[in-house]
């Protein structure tokens, strides 16, 4: 597997290592803060720096597909995704992937960085013979929904929620 991809305009996408833990935590904080301010005030933006958050990001770096986008060496975005093999005896025998987190800092949006991150994850999915790729997005986040639709995603299931 190629570990680093360099694009025009100084954009590099590379596999995250444990040395990137603090960077991933900071970008995770930025993602949660953005979502909290815009759609979900219940999010705990400090979670990335908690023991659970740190352990979750360590696991993502070690066991999942975690990549960082940099512009001239500065981190500007990241993606975390995973592949799940079929569960023995399950009704659906397909390999699925979950796009867990994708985030690009505000000043770097509209430069195709998110698409480049996604394309690398898609390559990874193809290498792992994934049959279906899933993403969960807040229904109020119209920008993200539009982004995913442009990447070929469409609604396949509907998750309903009721605030109590």
**Span 62-87, average pLDDT:** 95
The percent of residues in the chain predicted with pLDDT above 90, rounded, is 74
Q: Is the pLDDT of residue 45 over 60?
A: yes
pLDDT 10s digits, 29-42:
999 999 999 999 99
Q: Is the pLDDT of residue 78 over 70?
A: yes
**Span 67-81, average pLDDT:** 96
What's the CATH class of domain 4-150?
alpha beta
Q: Is the pLDDT of residue 8 over 70?
A: no
pLDDT at position 156? 82
* Higher pLDDT pick, 40 / 86: 40
pLDDT 10s digits, 98-140:
999 999 999 999 899 999 999 999 999 999 999 999 999 888 8
* Higher pLDDT pick, 162 / 44: 44
Residue 95 is encoded by which pair of tokens?
């390999």
pLDDT at position 29? 98
What's the predicted TM-score (pTM) here?
Answer: 0.88
Query: To which H or E segment does residue 127 belong?
Result: helix 113-127
| 24 exposure class (CB count in 10 Å sphere: 0-12, 13-18, 19+) | buried
pLDDT at position 3? 65
Residue 67: CB atoms within 10 A of its CB come to 23
Extents of the domains making up the chain = 4-150
- Under the banding of pLDDT at 50, 70 and 90, the label for residue 77 is very high
115 vs 43: CA distance, rounded Å: 26
pLDDT at position 6? 67
**Maximum Cα–Cα distance for the chain, whole Å?**
49
């Amino acid at each position: 597997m190629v570990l680093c991809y360099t694009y025009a305009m100084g954009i590099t996408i590379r596999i995250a290592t444990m040395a990137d833990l603090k960077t991933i935590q900071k970008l995770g904080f930025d993602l949660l803060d953005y979502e909290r301010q815009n759609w979900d005030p219940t999010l705990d933006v400090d979670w990335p720096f908690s023991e659970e958050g740190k352990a979750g990001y360590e696991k993502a770096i070690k066991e999942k597909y975690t990549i960082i986008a940099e512009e001239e060496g500065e981190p500007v975005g990241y993606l975390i995704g995973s592949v799940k093999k079929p569960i023995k005896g399950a009704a659906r025998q397909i390999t699925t992937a979950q796009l867990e987190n994708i985030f690009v800092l505000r000043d770097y949006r509209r430069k195709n960085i998110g698409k480049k991150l996604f394309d690398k994850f898609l390559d990874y999915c193809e290498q792992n013979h994934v049959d279906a790729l899933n993403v969960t997005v807040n229904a109020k986040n119209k920008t993200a929904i539009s982004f995913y639709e442009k990447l070929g995603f469409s609604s396949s299931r509907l998750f309903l929620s009721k605030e109590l």
